[in-house]
Structure 1
Amino acid sequence: MSFEKVDPLEDPRAMRALAHPIRLRIRDLLDDEGPLTATEVSDRIGESPANCSFHLRTLAKYGFIEEAEGGKGRNRPWQIRHGWMRVEPENLAGDARRAALAMGQALRGALVRRIEAWARRSRDLPEPWRGVGFEMQIDTDLSAEELKQIGEQISEVLRPLTSKRELAPDSRRITIAVQGFPHVSDDD
């Protein structure tokens, strides 16, 4: 969840669409590599072009990706739509809440897989990328208001990184993931 002023995603169909494992792989691929056609996506993830085309159209239907410039028909490239997405499962009920929880679980799973891949291969990265990634965790005591303020401050720090800006020649795709949550048990 971000603290950006965007309308929360509440459509269970959209949330289920994004939670699909192939669509998550496609979304991550488009985010990493930029505009790709269904055939190019197919080559990279090992699914048929027809299946990839179906999943691309589904992601576009719900606004997660869009057509890129150039190409038509089968040669039509697709690109990720950047921006903030806000989901508030605590404010949803029924099917929408179940879909939000499933989508969140799928997105967290994809993030963990990305973190694990980095941890396994970080030694193989070229300089200067070796040793610059980080993981951090603290456990502390905060009030609900303090936790909210920290989330807003982190959002302010990250916001400029999501806008169009001139990139350094040695730029790479980077994931910055931050969570802040109260400890709960399964009994709560």
Structure 2
Amino acid sequence: MTLPRVTLTDPKALRGYAHPLRMSLIALLRAQGPTTATRAAEQLGESVASCSFHLRQLAKYGLAERAPGADGRERPWRATALATYWDDDSDDPQVRAATDELNAAQLALYTRRAQEFLARRPEEPAAWRAVTAFSDWPLHVTPEELAELDERIDAVLSTYDDRITDPSRRPAGSRRVSFVRLAVLPPPAAPEAGEGESDPKRAADRDER
């Protein structure tokens, strides 16, 4: 299945989303469902006024909306979709500049989440510690091959989408996991990671933290 998505194409919307608290608010709404600014502030360690302001900004860009049936006292918010997409390769220089800002904000958010996880990882059960780690796997591929690999990974990950939309499909003992995928190119003059290794898996294992 394909998760309901919202696609950002306008530079103002792209820059509007490129804010750490706004990205955290959307993540919270998607994970927990309709939430008030007060409850969001408690969970994110922010002020109610700040959360309320940024939720209104998210609504302006089509990322959040008032939940149906909200009364004048509670007034919860909900995400308009379960995934956000944008084009990293637009012909419009303004859109490219805005997506660069958004990608940088997203990377900073991923880094912060990883640091927070590492701080609490020693308290996690052994079974989860054994399967959560960082790794770097060197590849020599063409752009077409990398695009194909990306599609194959998407296809595997999408087999778990129904568990996001239907909690009854989640098996006992499952937890929400943030699976981050990066594909980056080293500088042209930099040595390739893993060069000279006869076993790429061993080279990747040594980079695990």
Question: Is the shorter-chain TM-score for this pair beyond 0.5, marking a shared fold?
Answer: yes
Give the distance between the partners of 2:150 and 2:143, measured in 1 at CA.
11
CA 127–147 in structure 1, closer or farther in 2 if over 3 Å, else same = same
Which residue in 2 is equivalent to 1:114? 113
Instruction: Tell me which stretches of 4 or more aligned residues in structure 1 moved more than 6 Å.
Output: none
Residues 100-127 of structure 1 deviation map (CA, whole Å, 9 limit, x = unaligned): 1101100111011111211221111135
Q: 1:170 aligns with which of 170, 173, 176?
A: 173
Q: CA deviation at 1:174?
A: 0.8
Q: Does 1:50 align with 2:53?
A: no
CA 171–61 in structure 1, closer or farther in 2 if over 3 Å, else same = farther
Q: CA deviation at 1:23?
A: 1.0
Match runs of 1:1-188 below 5 Å: 9-126=8-125, 128-163=127-162, 164-165=165-166, 166-184=169-187
Are 1:83 and 1:162, in contact at CA under 8 Å, matched by a contact in 2?
no
CA 48–115 in structure 1, closer or farther in 2 if over 3 Å, else same = closer
Identity %: 32
CA 48–117 in structure 1, closer or farther in 2 if over 3 Å, else same = closer
Unaligned regions of 5+ residues in structure 2, if any?
A: 190-209
Q: CA deviation at 1:70?
A: 4.5
> What is the aligned-residue RMSD (CA, Å)?
2.7
Unaligned regions of 5+ residues in structure 1, if any?
A: none
Q: CA deviation at 1:173?
A: 1.7
Please say which structure displays the higher CA radius of gyration.
Answer: 2
Counterpart code for 1:173: R
Are 1:38 and 1:74, in contact at CA under 8 Å, matched by a contact in 2?
no
Q: CA deviation at 1:170?
A: 2.8
CA 174–68 in structure 1, closer or farther in 2 if over 3 Å, else same = farther
CA 102–132 in structure 1, closer or farther in 2 if over 3 Å, else same = same
Number of aligned pairs? 183
Q: CA deviation at 1:153?
A: 0.3
Are 1:12 and 1:99, in contact at CA under 8 Å, matched by a contact in 2?
yes
Are 2:6 and 2:81, in contact at CA under 8 Å, matched by a contact in 1?
no
104-113 or 53-62, which deviates more: 53-62
Give the distance between the partners of 1:151 and 1:19, measured in 2 at CA.
24
Counterpart code for 1:145: E
Q: CA deviation at 1:61?
A: 2.5
